[in-house]
Amino acid sequence: MSEMGQNKCPANYLYPKAKIVKFFRVSVMTSMERNEAITKISDAIGHNGGWIVNHTLLSNVAATLNFELPYIQVEDFLTKLKELSFYPVVEGDVPQTKESDLRGQVTVTFMHNKPDLKRTIPAFG
């Protein structure tokens, strides 16, 4: 069977003008109030030329922020998180590509003794 039949063709063969986008993950833990923490991380992403693509809030326990960031700004982004007292842990290696943006995800775990946020959902129908 040919290599193309095994789905091993390069992405630029199918989409010649497409940039291959890489992905990296960052984890932080904080006792900071969750809205303040999310705002600071969002600002750090924007400050370094990035933007939020998606987010998920898991009650008041955790949050994930999916973002894109120019590769050349990754070190500045991680430094900014340290300056904001988040002390990021990069999971795995940051992809080495200087020609494109990187997709990333920050997972924030909130450390506190507060109960879960529970919302009453009214019955309908």
Domain boundaries, the chain: 20-110
Q: Which regions of the chain does DSSP assign to beta strands (E)?
A: 22-30, 51-58, 62-70, 89-91, 101-110
Proportion of the chain above pLDDT 70, given as a percent: 79
Q: Write the pLDDT tens digit of every residue in 106-115.
A: 999 999 888 8
The tokens describing 18, both together, are: 């497409």
The predicted pLDDT at position 48 comes to: 94
CATH code of 20-110, in short, is: 3.30.70
With beta carbons less than 8 A apart as the criterion, state whether 53 and 36 touch.
Answer: no
Q: Is the model's pTM score more than 0.85?
A: no
With beta carbons less than 8 A apart as the criterion, state whether 50 and 69 touch.
Answer: yes
The tokens describing 9, both together, are: 């063709």
